[in-house]
Chain A
């Protein structure tokens, strides 16, 4: 019976991986099609304005609900919508994979790197879908799905281990508290990092003058304006990205959710370390790297409220935090040997 669940879990994971790859391709096609308007703004305005690439780009404010363009959505947008559908399917398959794995092993499926990374993928994609539902920033999908696909591929190929019980060192309820919260916070911060990468690319594009928009002010400008539809005049595929204001807001909103969870996860880890290793903090490589990540995100939140550090600098710090988290996730477990190295690899 448990072998059946394990097989279903493996199948579901493969399905999720395939769906993520398809979704990534669809998001990328939308991004590359260059013809789509920024969906965030188009949806915010309730109209399907089609701006021709290289056109004048002036948008009549229009009447709410009035459709100005042909009723058929352009190819890019259609791929974007397909990407969302496939993402939902992938997330569902991923969740099924996690649940059946749990049934197969009779415990929470978070005892090795494969299960951990699978959980991060699912949580990141679900976070992304929530962000998408609230902001409509669909073209950011490429930036979120890219790390997710990489993680899922690594999990499926390099990290995969068959379902098995846990070693005694991991047999503690602290494990579930610590690892679950680490996985959830990591995935939320992954979305934050993706938004910051998008922000930096967009900022570069706008600075280079290839995109004539007026809404390039970071959110610090006082909150007015927000997502005014920006006429897109550029042929760069980055021009379909959400506005900098939107990207900054996504990065911040996800960070202020992810950061306290991450803080809690580190504290829970310290309490577990007190129970398991005799001290709550010992500068084990994993602990050190978690501390570095924590400091980066603390710096990000401070930078965002410091004159002269908002906008690009803050976004860079957020990206650094994301990089150090991924580094912690893989490099520390695979290359540096420490107390955390039992997590499935030696």
Chain B
């Protein structure tokens, strides 16, 4: 990670042939592009681009995260909004330019890693490099004269260099002088191994993420407590986000029976626990009466064969009973959506009655009904406005408007299940008939005799199904990435060389002394030079004392 051997600078152009063929020049061009792409400088610039290109993903609303907010943003910025949308700024992580950056980055990475892998494998077999002629030129250098013959000192040093890769060589010297012994030692090979593990893990992680995006999917659904839900096709979900290779025919079906939901709150209204009891059926159980009981909690999903089911949210479903002018009585229950950022669960929603009984043909579209308004689990009235003062259903009530007319469902435009199309109201196609606050058992009577009674409520849970067969691999690569990173940061690459020579003979009067040795030491830190100083002093001192305690 931190140490990348300096990659070879682009070699000087070979002498051009007298008439460079087209193919040759194209090849030369490609080779140069490749060298540029795999250079560290380019990798750094691409890293920057990646960081900068990610920022809009954090700062602008994203389609994939919040559709309504994104649409709102575009509506609020009519000039640049549509342009940003066209350029993919609301879908940064799926945009071509973002893909271009990370694909280039990973190409650069591969181009850098493959040669480094070969080099590393080669180095594993190679002997430590020969001792440089002039050790005095190395960043760390020492020279001393110690007791003992050359061979004794060499043995002494060798014993002290346990754990280092070591080569001992005999060096002839000019002029018939006694040969010198050199020791080349190096350690920290594992650092490069960590480096390679880190970078290959990054590649593996990218592949795992890509596979997950291809074959995985996510679906979400709101289920009333007491109801069942079966995952058989994307159509069984309210929302389904499919991977590129998912057409929805391969879902392994499972069913859930939501039996109960309990939320607990502190007196101040802060939630302390959400628990849903469910029964589940998967595989061959489907369609039978055999249910496996399970408890779903926030932070504790239900793990079926490949799918995982999460408890994502909860809310209230008010119940209404409508008795129509022709005497038909029907019950309606419709989940209402909690208002964002309201901890007390004031919820909004709409019950849409598209097929009022007793009318046919075009009359249907004059007599459709909508009960629109809010549900408050604990009613708090302030100047006639109903909000909720506590998230638990201590004193539930609704504040509703009743509309009659054409809900506009035939227009082909999709509508939110939580609201009516206000264009229909503006057009006059949908007319407000009544407005009232209702407590359980209370009712509204419309001018045509329709009676709408608020009969009670139950709770709903929103569940999410996730399927990503590659996420285990993503975890494996994340772990190896971390291990590789730590190895590459902790291990330090060090080289040290010793040249042991007998002291120079000072003429016939001072023959070569066999019991003294001149030790020249040179050290080179291949990475993180800081801190090698003291270590080097210790290494140089190996020649000094006879190793004790042996």
Contacts and interface: CB of A to CB of B under 8 A. Distances in A.
A252 B527 CA distance: 12
A278 B308 contact: yes
B529 A222 contact: yes
Given A263-B481, A279-B466, A168 B218 contact: no
Interface stretch (A53-61, A121-129, A145-153, A267-275): A267-275
Nearest to A335: B59
Contact of B530 (A252, A263, A285): A252
Contacts, number: 156
Contacts of A330: none
Contacts of A226: 530, 533
Interface string A32-51: 00000000000000000000
B123 interface: no
A296 B51 contact: yes
B55 A292 contact: yes
Interface string A250-287: 00110010011001100100111011111111111110
Contacts of A308: 41
B298 interface: yes
Contact of B312 (A165, A275, A278): A278
Contacts of A295: 47-48, 50-51, 54
Interface string B283-303: 000000000000001111100
A304 B271 contact: no
A2 interface: no
A220 interface: yes
Nearest to A272: B299
Interface in A232-264: 245, 249, 252-253, 256, 259-260, 263-264
Given A299-B44, A299-B48, A308-B41, A291 B4 contact: no
Contacts of B527: 305
A281 B475 CA distance: 11
B478 interface: yes
A306 interface: yes
Interface residues on B, range: 35 or more
B298 A302 contact: no
Contact of A223 (B51, B466, B468, B533): B533
A3 interface: no
Interface stretch (A11-19, A90-98, A169-177): A169-177
A285 B58 contact: yes
A263 B300 contact: no
A63 interface: no
A41 B312 CA distance: 58
A283 B41 contact: no
B258 interface: no
A305 B3 contact: yes
A259 B330 CA distance: 63
Contacts of A306: 4, 6, 40-41, 44
A280 B474 CA distance: 9
Nearest to A324: B51
A290 to B, nearest CB: 9
Given A223-B532, A260-B482, A174 B218 contact: no
A216 interface: no
B256 interface: no
Given A223-B140, A295-B50, A279 B218 contact: yes
B271 A167 contact: yes
Interface in B247-277: 266, 268, 270-274
A284 B297 CA distance: 22
A130 interface: no
Contact of A288 (B2, B57, B266, B270): B57
Interface string B133-149: 00000011000000000
A174 B301 CA distance: 14
19 contacts: A164-B268, A167-B272, A219-B529, A222-B139, A223-B531, A223-B532, A260-B482, A263-B482, A274-B471, A276-B298, A278-B464, A280-B468, A280-B475, A282-B65, A285-B59, A289-B58, A295-B50, A301-B2, A306-B4
Interface of A: 164-165, 167-169, 171-172, 174, 219-220, 222-224, 226, 245, 249, 252-253, 256, 259-260, 263-264, 267, 270-272, 274-286, 288-289, 291-292, 295-296, 298-299, 301-309, 324, 332, 336, 338, 346
Closest 4 CB pairs of A and B: A223-B529, A222-B139, A288-B58, A172-B299
Given A167-B271, A272-B299, A282-B65, 14 more contacts: A168-B273, A223-B529, A224-B139, A275-B301, A276-B310, A278-B466, A285-B58, A299-B47, A299-B48, A299-B51, A302-B1, A305-B527, A306-B4, A309-B44
